[in-house]
Structure 1
């Protein structure tokens, strides 16, 4: 039977912001039949046999009939249930088209792609965004974690909610809590950090492909929103292609490919392999997003052309310049350019003020705010280290202190502008979201 999920109350009339925790924690979710398939690869005939098995189950047939009038964007239950491979691909593209086929996307960043930052990036051209990576087990067990780490609002769409996991049942429980409020539930198979090795998730599941496949299938067979996956590439290109095809066969409806291997952690030291992303795009039928080497809009255009990807993700560059997708460039990326850049109307203190206003509207932990302050005005701090030291000495931050800090930086008389090409000026309205025709 279809789960009944309670509506989520507004945090306040001012914010129109949803929280997932308090109303969901008391809800009891109806158990549904699941099938775990452990093979790491299927031929076309084997996949058709799997579809027949799923469709022959009486309970699944009843659920399918019950869902005939389902109004969820993804229709009858899930992309994998009772559909052959070609039909699943068609459904994946139909969903992507319904979202407007966003090309400019905020990547998932732990503690850094929270709601206020997503809304700031959306104001300046981002067309979709990922949440920070959420730990599926902690998310299911800890009320405080849920309430602080996942918030969203009506304007925060399209939205990918990303989880790390190594247990299909726990992942499904976490995913069911957020599926009414997102457009994809994403599985993190790309985190290369030491904590992911210790916790056995992210890119370290690349050594256990049967588990990877079971995680994807568990969600694909039981959610009413599509499943997406974010991966890194293998050192061997054919291994990467086989990996991508396996994920597609398991029910993945969108694949984001970071063009670096698990060992290539330093984005400034290792260039992302766009050719590998192009090979994945040519090997699968579902939408593919490219991640890596996106510093400004020229990189966006080059990446889309060279990879054939359906969109791009940016992470570190957005932290320093959240107006990247509106055509603004940091000073360091102007060096060596063709000379047709000019100082824009924005600088990073303007972006910081915008961010702080979003934080007042959509509260988040102060550790996240502190991190963004350092990223956004780091260039100013290098010129005025005493202001940075004053910030670091604050054991407890307040908005009043941060606004005063911005005023203090501006009063020093040194401006560090963002730059634009002539064709990008005036793209962002003063009080609204950026145009999507970037």
Structure 2
């Protein structure tokens, strides 16, 4: 009887703290003009707040059994078994859209899923603003029934605030992810992301708080330390704290330029060998050849791609931009697909799933970057628009085509390559 009372109380508390005010659980209405939100990243995160006393270990175990939590609630082997059971239930996705601030929003995720992505992260969400601001929630986090598996990523440095934010999204995702890898100055000012590597007890408290209180598993995305042993100790600490999946970016906090500095796949391999939960590899994924090489060299359970997907959302379907087609490799244009085609598909998805215009503008620049270098006056006209419309953007693509601009994508095989469990193509 006591266990039933605990379960009922917990479920009641969870429901009362989570009114589903925002996400597009049903598809949002189509609009032609979207409201641009203020820039929430300029807000600093609140300082760490005093936390409530933790329940006893026995009570935690009972509650976790009742709620079926896949987090740390069951220690040791049980936690690892649940982590893998959840990953397998999702189909063990290997091709994953990485979290990108303002760039991995719902329409872009859906475009990448059409072209082979098997899972995706949301953009990084600011946990404090998410809990306080309904407009922020409604604009920055949207999803739909086909947007799964889904990781919802938060930045945070206060465990209670992070938990409050996580409880609002847990019914609509497969993992709540903690951003421990952002190396940008805004993260340093706000004391989150990769700058929490200087305060490991705080990191541990964030993971434990979610793992002991959510019904979905906790994942973490990290960067490596300059010293490999520090990285391995960090990864093991996260696993012990209740992390059920670990995404490892193979660069350090100071290595921000991905085009000049190669990610250390050997460090990712070492992490994979050091922990028992699923591990994802991030860094140097520019086309499917890199996917196969990375899975083989690291033994990771999947890969994340970020910047390369922004230019070529069809990357996971086997398409390459001309930059990555090797000498002697087939440049057949049997498949008529280029960035202009992908942009039009993206815009149609934005009409179906509205997002702030700043996100749309950023994707236009990324997908048409090469075109704009050929005709910079078109880019200048785009930048001069204080208020974008879909009609303007569709017309802009048509004008580029009339000017004879074409940036084709290339594929060895138009059929999507299957990836076997050992990371080799088949």
TM-score by length of 1: 0.84
Q: 1:338 to 1:403 in 2, by over 3 A?
A: same
2:272–2:300: 8 Å Cα contact kept in structure 1?
yes
Secondary structure of the residue aligned to 1:414 is: coil
Structure 2 distance, partners of 1:309, 1:369, is 32
Q: Determine if the alignment matches structure 1 residue 86 to structure 2 residue 77.
A: yes
Give the 5 Å matches for 1:355-374: 355-374=346-365
* Residue equivalent to 1:381: 372
State which of 114, 137, 140 in structure 2 corresponds to 1:123: 114
* Residue equivalent to 1:42: none
* Residue equivalent to 1:265: 256
Secondary structure of the residue aligned to 1:152 is: coil
1:16–1:154: 8 Å Cα contact kept in structure 2?
no
Q: Determine if the alignment matches structure 1 residue 136 to structure 2 residue 127.
A: yes
Structure 2 distance, partners of 1:16, 1:306, is 45
Q: Determine if the alignment matches structure 1 residue 350 to structure 2 residue 341.
A: yes
Q: Determine if the alignment matches structure 1 residue 339 to structure 2 residue 315.
A: no
Count how many residue pairs are aligned between Structure 1 and Structure 2. Answer: 385
Q: 1:61 to 1:305 in 2, by over 3 A?
A: closer
* Residue equivalent to 2:414: 425
Structure 2 distance, partners of 1:34, 1:319, is 44
* Residue equivalent to 2:200: 209
Structure 2 distance, partners of 1:10, 1:263, is 35
Q: Determine if the alignment matches structure 1 residue 54 to structure 2 residue 57.
A: yes
Structure 1 distance, partners of 2:288, 2:168, is 35
User: How far off its partner does 1:341 sit?
Assistant: 3.8
* Residue equivalent to 1:431: none
User: How far off its partner does 1:95 sit?
Assistant: 0.1
State which of 393, 396, 399 in structure 2 corresponds to 1:408: 399
1:236-260 deviation per Cα after TM superposition (whole angstroms, max 9, x unaligned) = 0000000000000000000000000
* Residue equivalent to 1:77: 69
Structure 2 distance, partners of 1:126, 1:13, is 22
Structure 2 distance, partners of 1:384, 1:95, is 49
Structure 2 distance, partners of 1:234, 1:11, is 38
1:106–1:315: 8 Å Cα contact kept in structure 2?
yes
2:27–2:353: 8 Å Cα contact kept in structure 1?
no
Secondary structure of the residue aligned to 2:332 is: strand
* Residue equivalent to 1:41: none
1:78–1:222: 8 Å Cα contact kept in structure 2?
no
* Residue equivalent to 2:164: 173
Structure 2 distance, partners of 1:362, 1:292, is 29
User: How far off its partner does 1:33 sit?
Assistant: 7.9
Secondary structure of the residue aligned to 2:111 is: helix
TM-score by length of 2: 0.86
* Residue equivalent to 2:150: 159
State which of 330, 353, 360 in structure 1 corresponds to 2:321: 330
User: How far off its partner does 1:427 sit?
Assistant: 4.4
Q: Determine if the alignment matches structure 1 residue 108 to structure 2 residue 99.
A: yes
* Residue equivalent to 1:432: none
Q: 1:145 to 1:281 in 2, by over 3 A?
A: same
- Structure 1 residue runs without a partner (length 5+): 18-31, 37-52, 71-75, 429-436
1:191-249 deviation per Cα after TM superposition (whole angstroms, max 9, x unaligned) = 00000000000000001000000000000000000000000000000000000000000
* Residue equivalent to 1:320: 311
- The two structures, once aligned, show a CA RMSD in angstroms of 2.1
Structure 1 distance, partners of 2:266, 2:286, is 18
1:136-181 deviation per Cα after TM superposition (whole angstroms, max 9, x unaligned) = 0111111111111000000000000000000000000000000000
* Residue equivalent to 2:3: none
Q: Determine if the alignment matches structure 1 residue 278 to structure 2 residue 297.
A: no
1:188–1:231: 8 Å Cα contact kept in structure 2?
yes
Structure 1 runs of 4+ aligned residues shifted over 4 Å read: 5-17
* Residue equivalent to 1:391: 382
State which of 171, 178, 181 in structure 2 corresponds to 1:187: 178
2:25–2:144: 8 Å Cα contact kept in structure 1?
no
Secondary structure of the residue aligned to 1:162 is: strand
* Residue equivalent to 2:420: none
1:34–1:222: 8 Å Cα contact kept in structure 2?
no
* Residue equivalent to 1:45: none
State which of 54, 62, 73 in structure 2 corresponds to 1:35: 54
Q: 1:112 to 1:208 in 2, by over 3 A?
A: same
User: How far off its partner does 1:368 sit?
Assistant: 0.3
Secondary structure of the residue aligned to 1:166 is: coil
Structure 2 distance, partners of 1:228, 1:255, is 6
1:216–1:252: 8 Å Cα contact kept in structure 2?
yes
* Residue equivalent to 1:73: none
User: How far off its partner does 1:415 sit?
Assistant: 1.4
